[in-house]
Structure 1
Amino acid sequence: MATLTLYYGTNRAHTGSDRWNPTGYGARFSSDGAENLRFGRIGMSADSKKLTSYLTKKRKVLGEGDGEGLGDWLAQQPMSIAAYRESIDPTVADAHQPNAVFGSAALFAALKGHMDKGADVLIYIHGFNVAWNEAVGAALALQEQLNHHGEQPVVVVLFSWPSDGKSMPFTSYRSDRTDAKASGYAVGRALLKFRDFLMLLRSQVANSEAKPCNQEIHLLCHSMGNYVLQNALARIAEFSPGTLPRMLTNVFLCAADVDDDVLEPGEPLGRLDELTQAINVYTNRGDNALRISDFTKGNPDRLGSAGRHVRSRCIPRCYRSTARRSSVDWSSTAII
């Protein structure tokens, strides 16, 4: 049997009587509020042979590995969940609680341990209509695929928000979009905590109290997860005077359910390049969530299907150019 581990953050309400060892997380916000995040670790045992069969499956178009099938299978496996314990007052600002115990601190310390050993970190925010177990399966599949096919070790951190996970597309879409906006503030709050943690590490390195690990941190958002990011960026900007903190190496916007001009100056993700060294846009013209977005909301063309809109023209699907700031590369690649 293979032992799999996944780190997570969520603002979903826990299921079961023990919030620190829940049976799972549901489709509603935490009782502590939409911006309250619980951090923790998931453990899972999986049949090694079956796991390998998914990772090595030959596919005509996409090459080796069946990530979608692997995610569906892992979503059905039993899992153990251990949330990092906290002792905080949610009504008081973090800075005014010197003796508080934060779950985020335990997560960051665990990730630092992996990075000190040479692993990169990839934060994954899922999209519309995803139940908790499906989110876990997808994140674990992503982690296993990256580590099986790549040379660079990667630790995936799942952020799961209360996406409905129902089969009523139009009703679920409206509900999920509302929840995604509130969840964006929670993600922004988490990234601000992460900023403070990185600043502490940098000061320790400067004072020769710690050694730099020189590893990279990336962010991948799928579908409506990009709308979560859009609102997270607004929250980060609210609490970051001047230029936003550059914390990430790559941001991957996959089948993004946001407006196609969202990356332009003055638009909601117009300052994303301050947060990361590179922005990568992947399009999928066949994404059902993007069709629902157009139908239910009358939304403009979506970034994830139409590509990036610049100066009243749409960039072709396969495109690479230098952005308005030389530190950022834009690319748009079709996902089949």
Structure 2
Amino acid sequence: MSVFILSNRKIVRHKGEKEDSFSNDEYSIPNFRIAKCDFDGYKDANPTRKKKDYTNRNILDYKLFSEPEKQGYEDVLEVLLSEKGLKKSNLTADNLGGTQRMFYELYKNMSSTKKRSDVLLFIHGYAYDFDDELKAIIDLKKLFIDQPESPIEHILFVSWPASSSLVPLTYFDDKASSINSGTSLMRLFYFYTQFLKDIFSNRDLVPCNQRIHLMAHSMGNRVLQSMLYSLKRENILRVIDQVLLLNADVTYKVFDDSEDSFNKLPLLANRVSIYLNRKDTILGISQFTKNILTPRLGKNGPGDIEALKDIVSVIDCTFIDNDLKKTLKFEIGNHWGYLSSSQVQDDIFQNLNGIDRNLITGRRKETENIFTIIS
């Protein structure tokens, strides 16, 4: 099990600390830095602990990887071959930095088992400072790694500097930051495809045959959209199994050819699932205040996806029961079904396990590619 943070947040050194940390500031840098979370000594927060003491590594410990000494993945290949006894080298994993170290560790872990050892790339929504992201990582680990129904064993958490307030105006200030972060995510995608080419060009190394899934919630879909805008079709490899778009705060026309963004997802992934809730209050605010009355994908569903219906499914979560989270935020917001509803979680687990969309239980089939989660 491993959980990595991919962040384009500013790097700071907090008073009294010996290591660099990610900042809570709403400011982005051009490239992602990589950190690995340490759950070995993790304990749930003491509810009596003062809020001011419950920050940064007091929430969850993590360690930033060093920047790589040189670009590319030749050193990763050399370390892997050396560990197999196929090449003599003084290089070790400690010489690897950034994405080199992350891809190395993931490949080692995923190829060392015949069990499902899938990776989930998760992009969060709006109103998260870094401390909020650390709490979200803990929740995601409990949900996707600790649950036996889930095939996920590793999480890559995309940390982008959203506003730290739930005030509606800040919700929309996150647009620019999501665009910048999408560009960083695009570079990460190219790094990953380069890693695959560099490593598996050697016949002594074979793919691990595990799967990678991508999940974007709310405004995290704008980060994904920005990445897709930048990707050139001829450079896209199908390296993702399942893409799950949760309560997406993007226009309902995002799959149209004129948008030239989400219509690229079938080139990237085997299956795309749109989870929507027609009672989503948060997306209602987004639609009627700052998006010129443009319906949102996660509330109204997509426009014309006839040409993509073999790959793209719509899952209507309007009638779910928020049985896991009973607070006003979840009951009124109807925006976090993946956290608040066991029905949505069960549907997601079946999706990630690759069950045919027509055989997933707890659904009612409306059309060839539209389903409703039922009680």
Partner in structure 1 of residue 33 of structure 2? 38
Partner in structure 1 of residue 329 of structure 2? none
Gaps of 5+ in 2: 47-53, 76-94, 318-336, 342-375
8 Å contact 2:252–2:303 — kept in the other structure? yes
| DSSP-derived class of the 2:31 partner | coil
Partner in structure 2 of residue 226 of structure 1? 221
Q: Which has the higher strand share?
A: 1
The amino acid of 1:285's aligned partner reads R
CA 24–286 in structure 1, closer or farther in 2 if over 3 Å, else same: farther
Partner in structure 2 of residue 255 of structure 1? 247
User: In 1, distance between residues paired with 2:11 and 2:172?
Assistant: 23
Partner in structure 2 of residue 181 of structure 1? 179
The structure with more radius of gyration: 2
Partner in structure 2 of residue 211 of structure 1? 206
Superposition deviation, residue 296 in structure 1? 2.1
| DSSP-derived class of the 2:262 partner | coil
CA 165–149 in structure 1, closer or farther in 2 if over 3 Å, else same: farther
The amino acid of 2:59's aligned partner reads P
User: In 2, distance between residues paired with 1:327 and 1:20?
Assistant: 52
Equivalences, count: 285
CA 106–137 in structure 1, closer or farther in 2 if over 3 Å, else same: same
User: In 2, distance between residues paired with 1:20 and 1:174?
Assistant: 36
Aligned-pair identity (%): 24
User: In 1, distance between residues paired with 2:301 and 2:225?
Assistant: 17
Q: State whether structure 2 residue 8 is matched by structure 1 residue 11.
A: yes
**Structure 2 matches for 1:1-336, cutoff 5 A?**
6-16=3-13, 21-30=19-28, 33=29, 35-44=30-39, 45-47=41-43, 78-87=59-68, 102-116=97-111, 117=113, 118=115, 119-147=117-145, 148-150=147-149, 152-170=151-169, 172-204=170-202, 207=203, 209-237=204-232, 242=234, 244-267=236-259, 268-294=261-287, 295-310=289-304, 324-325=307-308, 328-334=311-317, 335=337
The amino acid of 2:294's aligned partner reads P
The amino acid of 1:177's aligned partner reads K
User: In 2, distance between residues paired with 1:15 and 1:274?
Assistant: 38
Superposition deviation, residue 288 in structure 1? 4.2
CA 75–259 in structure 1, closer or farther in 2 if over 3 Å, else same: farther
Query: Greater CA deviation, 135-144 or 119-128?
Result: 135-144
User: In 1, distance between residues paired with 2:302 and 2:131?
Assistant: 32
CA 296–329 in structure 1, closer or farther in 2 if over 3 Å, else same: closer
CA 114–101 in structure 1, closer or farther in 2 if over 3 Å, else same: closer
User: In 2, distance between residues paired with 1:284 and 1:74?
Assistant: 33
User: In 2, distance between residues paired with 1:306 and 1:38?
Assistant: 36
Q: TM-score, normalised by structure 1?
A: 0.75
Superposition deviation, residue 167 in structure 1? 3.2
Partner in structure 2 of residue 60 of structure 1? none
CA 199–266 in structure 1, closer or farther in 2 if over 3 Å, else same: farther
| DSSP-derived class of the 2:155 partner | strand
The amino acid of 2:296's aligned partner reads R
